Amino acid sequence: MTAAPIDGRARAARLRAAVAREVAAFSARAGRPPGLAVVLVGEDPASSVYVRSKGKATAEAGMCGAEHRLPADTPEAELLALVDRLNADPVIDGILVQLPLPAHIDATHVTNRIDPDKDVDGFHPVNAGRLATGLPGFVPCTPLGCLMLLREARGDLSGLEAVVVGRSTIVGKPMAQLLLAESCTVTVAHSRTRDLAGHLARADIVVAAVGRARMIRGEWLKPGATVIDVGINRTEAGLVGDVDFPSASAVAGAITPVPGGVGPMTIACLLRNTLVSAGRREGVAIDETGF
Ligand code: GUN
């Protein structure tokens, strides 16, 4: 068998078009576009690239992007003061502080300072709690994008066996919560898991988010499984995922490529979350079909 590719670029383009249509409707009703503030501390090259592409995507969606670039030696108190100003700014609907932060700044202090109702990254503990208890809030963009790809590939996920490999706060844990809410039977595997292959052999859905190049082998998968690869690992052979693509695509039913799978969905979901935030804050109903 050769797995069907799951085209994240195409799904992300559709999502961004749907968001842009709703942004136009929102702006007409509210008298202003949705506003997203992106904060970058220091000059980490990868982060600079991400922040630039977030700014471009924001403008293309018809939103107002405010970029704040601070020097690497900015004191934590100064960054917290900027977050306070953005929390209080009525035309800012979403705040994103790009991670990682320089070592002298405690990222938890910063994340926890963002108003949960502007936390379009979904990293604030209030939003993690809302997700765990089924309340409306914000879901981190990467797992939200994965869920959209899974729904597209499999339709109804109810009753399926899902294995999430990785237990990070940003991907693994929220992914497990989302799959549980879809009525999957969810296993979260991690570095101490004893028999990963044994778990994967039963999985209809695999979400790989471990950050280890090509760690998951095709021989471990259940034939026909749907595989979502969150990994972005730079190797001598170029950019590769956490799944060994050649062997996995011989066994899986459908699989995301790296690049061109999950990656494009993350920014599209950030735009989606910002629009949803703007709608909630201004009391403007957003048509979420297509989201
Ligand atoms: N660094 C890498 N990905 C992300 C993300 O989605 N949000 C933030 N804030 N920082 C990141």
> How far is the centre of ligand 1, averaged over its atoms, from the C-alpha of 267 (Å)?
10
| Active-site annotation holder among 119, 121, 204, 229 | 121
Region 109-138: mean pLDDT is 98
Gap between the Cα atoms of 33 and 21, Å rounded: 12
Whether the pLDDT of residue 290 is over 80: the answer is no
Residue 4 amino acid letter: A
SS3 167: coil
Is 171 close to ligand 1, i.e. is its CB under 6 Å away? no
| Active-site annotation holder among 54, 118, 173, 222 | 54
- Shared domain for 246 and 208, answered yes or no, is yes
- Shared domain for 169 and 248, answered yes or no, is yes
- Shared domain for 205 and 244, answered yes or no, is yes
- Shared domain for 171 and 240, answered yes or no, is yes
CA distances from 30 to 24, 27, 162 (A): 10, 5, 41
Task: Tell me whether residue 26 is in a domain.
Answer: no
Burial of 234 (0-12, 13-18, 19+ CB in 10 A): exposed
pLDDT, residue 289, reads 74
Task: Tell me whether residue 126 is in a domain.
Answer: no
Gap between the Cα atoms of 235 and 238, Å rounded: 5
DSSP single-letter state for residue 243:
B
- β-sheet bridge partners, residue 255: 5, 227
Task: Tell me whether residue 241 is in a domain.
Answer: yes
Is 107 close to ligand 1, i.e. is its CB under 6 Å away? no
Task: Tell me whether residue 271 is in a domain.
Answer: no
Contacts of 108 (CB under 8 A, 6+ apart): none
- Shared domain for 169 and 257, answered yes or no, is yes
Q: How many residues does the chain have?
A: 291
DSSP line for 173-212: HHHHHHHHHTT-EEEEE-TT-S-HHHHHTT-SEEEE-S--
- Shared domain for 109 and 147, answered yes or no, is no
Region 254-259: mean pLDDT is 97
pLDDT, residue 35, reads 98
Average pLDDT, rounded, for the chain? 97
pLDDT tens track for 48-94:
999 999 999 999 999 999 999 999 999 999 999 999 999 999 999 99
pLDDT, residue 158, reads 98
- Shared domain for 75 and 149, answered yes or no, is no
Q: Would you tell me the crossing angle of helices 125-133 and 172-181 to the nearest 10 degrees?
A: 30
* 98 is known as an active-site residue: yes
> How far is the centre of ligand 1, averaged over its atoms, from the C-alpha of 99 (Å)?
5
Of 290, 5, 289, 263, residue with least CA distance to 146 = 263
Whether the pLDDT of residue 135 is over 90: the answer is yes
DSSP single-letter state for residue 220:
G
76 lies in which domain range?
31-116
Mutate which of 39, 48, 50 for ligand 1 pocket (most atoms within 8 A of beta carbon): 50
Burial of 132 (0-12, 13-18, 19+ CB in 10 A): middle
Tokens of 87: 């929390």
- Shared domain for 44 and 81, answered yes or no, is yes
> How far is the centre of ligand 1, averaged over its atoms, from the C-alpha of 221 (Å)?
29
pLDDT, residue 251, reads 98
* 121 is known as an active-site residue: yes
Confidence band for 287, pLDDT divided at 50, 70 and 90? confident
Is 99 close to ligand 1, i.e. is its CB under 6 Å away? yes
Confidence band for 262, pLDDT divided at 50, 70 and 90? very high
Is 141 close to ligand 1, i.e. is its CB under 6 Å away? yes
Gap between the Cα atoms of 175 and 146, Å rounded: 8
Task: Tell me whether residue 157 is in a domain.
Answer: yes
Task: Tell me whether residue 1 is in a domain.
Answer: no
Percent of the chain at pLDDT > 90 equals 98
pLDDT, residue 74, reads 98
Is 6 close to ligand 1, i.e. is its CB under 6 Å away? no
pLDDT tens track for 223-240:
999 999 999 999 998 999
CATH code at 47?
Answer: 3.40.50.10860
Is 97 close to ligand 1, i.e. is its CB under 6 Å away? yes
Confidence band for 291, pLDDT divided at 50, 70 and 90? confident
Contacts of 187 (CB under 8 A, 6+ apart): 161, 162, 163, 164, 199, 203
> How far is the centre of ligand 1, averaged over its atoms, from the C-alpha of 116 (Å)?
16
Whether the pLDDT of residue 8 is over 90: the answer is yes
Task: Tell me whether residue 44 is in a domain.
Answer: yes
Tokens of 111: 């994340």
Region 182-198: mean pLDDT is 97
Closest ligand 1 atom to Cα of 266: 6
pLDDT tens track for 166-186:
999 999 999 999 999 999 999
pLDDT, residue 119, reads 98
> How far is the centre of ligand 1, averaged over its atoms, from the C-alpha of 98 (Å)?
5
pLDDT, residue 288, reads 78
Tokens of 183: 């009525």
Closest ligand 1 atom to Cα of 270: 6
Region 14-40: mean pLDDT is 98
Task: Kindly report whether the global pTM for this prediction surpasses the value 0.85.
Answer: yes
Task: Tell me whether residue 233 is in a domain.
Answer: yes
- Shared domain for 176 and 258, answered yes or no, is yes
Is 274 close to ligand 1, i.e. is its CB under 6 Å away? no
Mutate which of 54, 86, 96 for ligand 1 pocket (most atoms within 8 A of beta carbon): 96
CATH code at 206?
Answer: 3.40.50.720
- Shared domain for 220 and 110, answered yes or no, is no
- Shared domain for 204 and 102, answered yes or no, is no
- Shared domain for 104 and 152, answered yes or no, is no
Total number of domains constituting the chain: 2
